[in-house]
Amino acid sequence: MLENNELPKNEAHGLSAIIGEMQAELRQFVETRVQMLKSELQEKLGTLKVAAPLVVVAIILLGTAYVLFTLALVGLISVAFSYTAYRWCFAFLIVGGLWSLLGAVAGYFARREFRSKSLAPRKTLEILKEDKIWLQKEVRNQI
């Protein structure tokens, strides 16, 4: 007779085979998901490597243009205040206020855009969520 904790040899062998098979499936499952994550991140990194130098050049050129246009605008506004000794101060205040307002609007839209789109690997996360739901259903069915 068998004690409560013992299984016949053929059932114990079958159980160890099932556990081994489950481990292999789990390992394959994790490796697949990790590979998906790696490929998605490499794709995003490749895009970043191409775009980064172009962004630097754009920032330099646009920064230079910004400074020149700002100085020209300040000069034009100072002409409107030619009757006062504080014309340059008024001109710089007006242009500074305009740029602050436009910068605040741009910052608002940038913040809204970052909130709506994430840099996280969306496809991988969606598949992992689906896998979690599937596993939960399987566990419920087995119990």
In this predicted structure, what is the pLDDT of residue 130?
A: 84
Tens-digit pLDDT profile for residues 15-60: 777 888 888 888 888 888 888 888 888 888 877 777 788 888 999 9
The model's confidence at residue 138, banded by pLDDT at 50, 70 and 90, is confident
Helical pair 122-142 and 9-80, crossing angle rounded to 10 deg? 150
Q: How many Cα atoms are found within 13 Å in the side-chain-facing hemisphere of 43?
A: 12
Length of the chain as a residue count: 143
The secondary structure of 6-49, three-state, reads CCCHHHHHHHHHHHHHHHHHHHHHHHHHHHHHHHHHHHHHHHHH
Q: Where are the domains of the chain?
A: 9-142
In this predicted structure, what is the pLDDT of residue 2?
A: 47
Separation of alpha carbons 123 and 129, rounded Å: 10
User: Max alpha carbon distance in the chain (Å)?
Assistant: 113
